[in-house]
Amino acid sequence: MKKLFALIVAICATTLAWADASGSCGENVTYSFVSSTGTLTISGTGDMNDYDYDSSQAPWYYLSIKKVVINNGVTSIGDWAFSDCTGLTSVTIPNSVTSIGEYAFAGCTGLTSVTIPNSVTSIGMGAFSYCTGLTSITIPNSVTSIEEYTFSDCSGLTSVTIPNSVTSIGMGAFDVCTGLTSINVAEDNLNYASIDGVLYSKDKKTLIECPEGKTGSITIPNSVTSIGEGAFAGCSGLTSVTIPNSVTSIGDWAFNSCTGLTSVTIPNSVTSIGMGAFSDCTGLTSMTVEATNPPSSGYDIVSNYNIPLYVPAGSVDAYKAADEWKKFTNIQAIPATGVNEAAAEKSALKKIIDRNGIIYIEKDGTRYFLNGGKVE
């Protein structure tokens, strides 16, 4: 009986896919579908209905839609309205639309570009998530908010420009956009800024997000005091990140899955490190923490606690006794290799102590940490 029912559903779905259809999709909004062209037209005035992926799917869910035309007069695109329309390649959105609902175009893998009109002020959570074919998106100056996960898993996106009108960007708005190499912000935006394609708060004190397509090395500017939650998560192409002495906190999952990192040095200015901050960094072979007092930390800051943890010589016992840090099985004093403090007494070298109490060695105009690493 179950097999027969499944067969009937499949036959009905196939029949619907190739049939013309029409009906209501809002109090004063209707839809019509022409199967010969694969065009779905939304007409009327006011808001479209909101739909739900599980229990209340859009009436055209099983239709083979290639093109969506929304006529002038329609003021919103409903939640989940066109989700998983994988054959959809073209969308026309009129200037009457002011909002795009949650997950409205989620999973529309056939979309390669979308032009959002200047009338739209908000883009809902996950609205374009999993649109893997999307290579360009134009966000107009009218948009004030980009919600959580709006463009997550859009692996085809290579760059995004945030206009001056945007006042809020939700967490994970560009998560798993593996091809994204730059997030650019209009200079006159009052809330956000960008440096070399990395997203910051306007005052540049918080590093919000590094696009996952970034490769090579990054030096965080001295203005930054906090690295946000998931800021570098998934940046597998990064091989080096220099954290300045201005940083005091590293957020949860900040460097999660940065498989290109082989070592990391955390300056003594850092007082807190979030949970999972360096988890799934499978290439990590060592960690150096320069703080005399062990920073507070969440759980599972790394995935492999067998890597060497280098700390100030007088703090080894403190780290061995501290929550989370005591999980490391190989805690050692920071080694003095290459250019070291003792050698600095020689005339060719210069010993420098900065305002945070960190000792550097300067040789031929280049500064080094005591562990031999060069200060970028």
Total domains in the chain come to 3
CA dihedral 48, 53, 59, 62 (to 10 degrees): 140
Predicted model pTM: 0.82
In a domain, 258, yes or no: yes
Tell me the C-alpha distance between 76 and 49, whole Å: 9
Give yes or no: residues 241 and 152 share one domain.
no
Residue the block writes with tokens 């609902």 = 101
Give yes or no: residues 349 and 318 share one domain.
no
In a domain, 186, yes or no: no
Give yes or no: residues 23 and 132 share one domain.
yes
In a domain, 187, yes or no: no
> For the domain that residue 306 is a member of, what is the CATH number?
3.80.10.10
* Residue 233 confidence (pLDDT): 97
In a domain, 84, yes or no: yes
* Residue 366 confidence (pLDDT): 77
In angstroms, the Cα distances linking 358 to 286, 340, 353, 355 are 20, 13, 5, 7
Sheet holding 145-146, edge to edge: 46-47, 74-77, 99-100, 122-123, 145-146, 168-169
Give yes or no: residues 110 and 230 share one domain.
no
Tell me the C-alpha distance between 23 and 48, whole Å: 12
Helical residues (DSSP H) of the chain, grouped into ranges: 2-17, 316-321
Strand 29-34, strand 21-26: pairing = antiparallel
Give yes or no: residues 255 and 348 share one domain.
no
Out of 318, 334, 350, a domain closes at: 334
Give yes or no: residues 84 and 37 share one domain.
yes
In a domain, 205, yes or no: no
In a domain, 68, yes or no: yes
> Residue 268, class by beta-carbon neighbours within 10 Å (0-12 exposed, 13-18 middle, 19+ buried)?
middle
* Residue 8 confidence (pLDDT): 41
In a domain, 42, yes or no: yes
* Range(s) of the domain holding residue 366: 335-376
* Residue 292 confidence (pLDDT): 95
Give yes or no: residues 19 and 151 share one domain.
yes
pLDDT band at 349 (very low <50, low <70, confident <90, very high): low
Give yes or no: residues 144 and 46 share one domain.
yes
Neighbours of 57 (CB within 10 A): 15
Q: pLDDT tens digits, residue range 183-232?
A: 999 999 999 999 999 999 999 999 999 999 999 999 999 999 999 999 99
Of the candidate ranges 64-68, 123-127, 263-267, 358-362, the one whose mean pLDDT is the lowest? 358-362
pLDDT band at 54 (very low <50, low <70, confident <90, very high): confident
Question: What are the φ and ψ backbone dihedral angles of 65, each rounded to 5 degrees?
Answer: -85, 130
Q: pLDDT tens digits, residue range 140-173?
A: 999 999 999 999 999 999 999 999 999 999 999 9
Q: pLDDT tens digits, residue range 5-14?
A: 444 444 444 4
Q: pLDDT tens digits, residue range 259-285?
A: 899 999 999 999 999 999 999 999 999
In angstroms, the Cα distances linking 270 to 226, 290, 295, 309 are 9, 9, 7, 16
Top pLDDT among 366 and 76 is at 76
Tell me the C-alpha distance between 119 and 105, whole Å: 18
Give yes or no: residues 27 and 77 share one domain.
yes
In angstroms, the Cα distances linking 264 to 260, 272, 308 are 11, 15, 11
Give yes or no: residues 255 and 161 share one domain.
no
In angstroms, the Cα distances linking 328 to 110, 214, 289, 311, 314 are 47, 30, 12, 12, 17
> Residue 87, class by beta-carbon neighbours within 10 Å (0-12 exposed, 13-18 middle, 19+ buried)?
middle
